[in-house]
């Protein structure tokens, strides 16, 4: 089947490459000529494990092309809208400028009985609005919502072997054909046992934001418990182990630490609150304000821990190594990164901060050019008064504290992700502190 992918940023590039890997003929369309050139050359414009190999393999077979010309998508049977929905500058609401622009650029080029499938995370009601606009231009076409559930660092796996597929389809004569087309697109994962849910469009739009809101709530809950553990003398990791053994709760995502960030979770829960308010249903999701507040509070608490570990030395002028700039490991994404935010807070209080990260230094430099950066852990920690582990990259979890001991001015480590073995670091002579632990 010929498929078009409109928007080739993070979501679109991964989706296009994976659809080609599943055997479809794919044309990716993006307004950014530089991005198109990179993808055409088989290079991913961002760090995502496995994606460069898929781009190279698909390019070699001729099943994927990238262009700035939306007319190249005209004869595709299914068109996936994969553009971003960032938070608006003036409110919590999602900015739908890119979704609307991509959709309207595609309208004049839709073929007979085309299927437009939205994958972007949008406020509920967006799909019905676009469907009404589509029916006025192309009555024989149909619009569905097929939300994405990608995790940065695992996006290829999540597309090729998703844990579920959701089709938000119209309740009219186009319903059956829309389901059949999407089933053909996803024939391989369906054959491998991926669950498929067919819903109405509003439900499909709500699935992604509801899932992200639940995940954010679980993370903020354990971080709230970490605050209590700190004042009560408890250990939040042991607390999480204990409550995680309850099968109704589960242990996953009960890891207390610096909290969540990135380009999805924070802006999605805020957009959810904004849309609920527009629908006069804001009391139903009012708890998300506290979820957001707890999450942001962790960043200032990390600054407090850093001050405390210095044992009376002023933060101003102290040399601090920050290990991690990306918002999570296996990514170079620094959007709303808790690690980078903490580094900037320390810098604002006149600490001498140096930041390192296995993949995100270039992006961090662009976002925070006033900070100092290092290309390796050894360079970052040389002569520092404290080391902060703020992104739980495997290479940071596996650090040998004995080897680093002789490089620092003072062996003090603050574990912002509860990723290190406290006993091992203390046995090596380090002062160890972590969020929610004695």
| Annotated binding-site residue numbers for NAD(+) | 30, 35, 85, 121, 152, 267, 335
> Which residue, among 366, 318, 380, 368, has the nearest Cα to 343 in the 3D structure?
368
CA 147 – CA 167 distance, rounded (Å): 8
CA 329 – CA 8 distance, rounded (Å): 22
Which residues lie closer than 8 Å to 127 by C-beta, 6 or more apart? Answer: 118, 143, 144, 145, 168, 201, 202, 204, 205
Q: Give the distance, in angstroms, between the CA of residue 122 and the centroid of all CA atoms in the same chain.
A: 15
Which residue is it, tokens 């993808």? 39
Phi and psi angles of residue 256, each rounded to the nearest 5 degrees, phi first: -70, 150
Q: How many CB atoms lie within 10 A of CB 400?
A: 9
Task: Please check whether residue 352 is in contact with residue 318, taking contact to mean a CB–CB distance below 8 angstroms.
Answer: yes
- Tokens coding 245: 């053994």
- Tokens coding 273: 């609150």
Active site residue 82: no
CA 343 – CA 323 distance, rounded (Å): 10
CA 47 – CA 7 distance, rounded (Å): 17
Give the Cα-Cα-Cα angle 357, 359, 363 (nearest 5 degrees).
90
List residues bridging with 27 in a β-sheet: 4, 65
Task: Please check whether residue 350 is in contact with residue 317, taking contact to mean a CB–CB distance below 8 angstroms.
Answer: yes
What three-state secondary structure class fits 64? strand
Continuous segment of H or E residues that includes residue 322: strand 319-323
Q: Which residues are annotated binding-site positions for substrate?
A: 149-152, 208, 253-257, 261, 328
Q: Give the distance, in angstroms, between the CA of residue 384 and the centroid of all CA atoms in the same chain.
A: 31
Which residues lie closer than 8 Å to 231 by C-beta, 6 or more apart? Answer: none
Q: Which residues are annotated binding-site positions?
A: 30, 35, 85, 121, 149-152, 208, 253-257, 261, 267, 328, 335
What three-state secondary structure class fits 433? strand
Active site residues: 264
């Amino acid at each position: 089947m010929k498929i078009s992918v409109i928007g080739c940023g993070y979501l679109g590039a991964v989706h296009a490459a994976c659809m080609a890997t599943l055997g479809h003929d794919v044309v990716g369309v993006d307004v950014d000529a530089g991005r198109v050139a990179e993808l055409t050359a088989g290079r991913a414009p961002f760090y995502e494990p496995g994606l460069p190999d898929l781009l190279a393999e698909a390019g070699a077979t001729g099943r994927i092309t990238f262009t700035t010309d939306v007319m190249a998508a005209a004869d595709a049977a299914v068109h996936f809208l994969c553009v971003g929905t960032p938070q608006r500058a003036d409110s919590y609401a999602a900015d739908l400028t890119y979704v609307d622009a991509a959709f309207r650029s595609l309208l004049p080029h839709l073929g007979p009985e085309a299927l437009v499938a939205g994958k972007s995370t949008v406020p509920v009601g967006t799909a019905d609005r676009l469907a009404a606009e589509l029916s006025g231009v192309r009555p024989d076409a149909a619009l569905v919502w097929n939300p994405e559930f990608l995790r940065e660092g695992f996006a290829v796996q999540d597309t090729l072997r998703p844990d579920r597929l959701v089709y938000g389809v119209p309740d009219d004569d186009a319903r059956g054909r829309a389901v059949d087309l999407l089933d053909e697109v996803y024939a391989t994962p369906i054959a491998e046992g991926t669950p498929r849910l067919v819903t109405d469009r509003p439900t499909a739009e709500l699935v992604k934001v509801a899932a992200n809101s639940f995940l954010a709530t679980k993370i903020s809950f354990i971080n709230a418990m970490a605050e209590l553990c700190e004042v009560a003398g408890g250990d939040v990791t042991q607390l999480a182990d204990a409550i995680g053994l309850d099968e109704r709760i589960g242990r996953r995502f009960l890891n207390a630490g610096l909290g969540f960030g990135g380009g999805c979770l924070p802006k999605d829960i805020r957009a959810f609150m904004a849309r609920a308010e527009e629908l006069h249903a804001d009391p139903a999701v009012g708890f998300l304000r506290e979820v957001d507040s707890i999450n942001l509070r962790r960043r200032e608490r990390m600054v407090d821990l850093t001050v405390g570990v210095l044992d009376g030395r002023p933060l101003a002028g102290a040399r601090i190594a920050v290990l991690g700039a990306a918002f999570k490991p296996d990514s170079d994404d620094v959007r709303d990164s808790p690690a980078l935010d903490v580094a900037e807070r320390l810098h604002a209080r006149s600490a001498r901060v140096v930041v390192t990260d296995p993949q995100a230094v270039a992006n961090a430099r662009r976002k925070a050019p006033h900070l100092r950066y290092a290309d390796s852990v050894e360079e970052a920690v040389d002569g520092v008064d404290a080391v902060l582990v703020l992104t739980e990259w495997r290479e940071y979890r596996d650090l040998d504290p004995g080897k680093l001991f002789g490089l620092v001015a003072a062996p003090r480590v603050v574990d912002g992700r509860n990723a290190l073995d406290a006993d091992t670091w203390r046995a090596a002579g380090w002062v160890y502190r972590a969020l929610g632990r004695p």
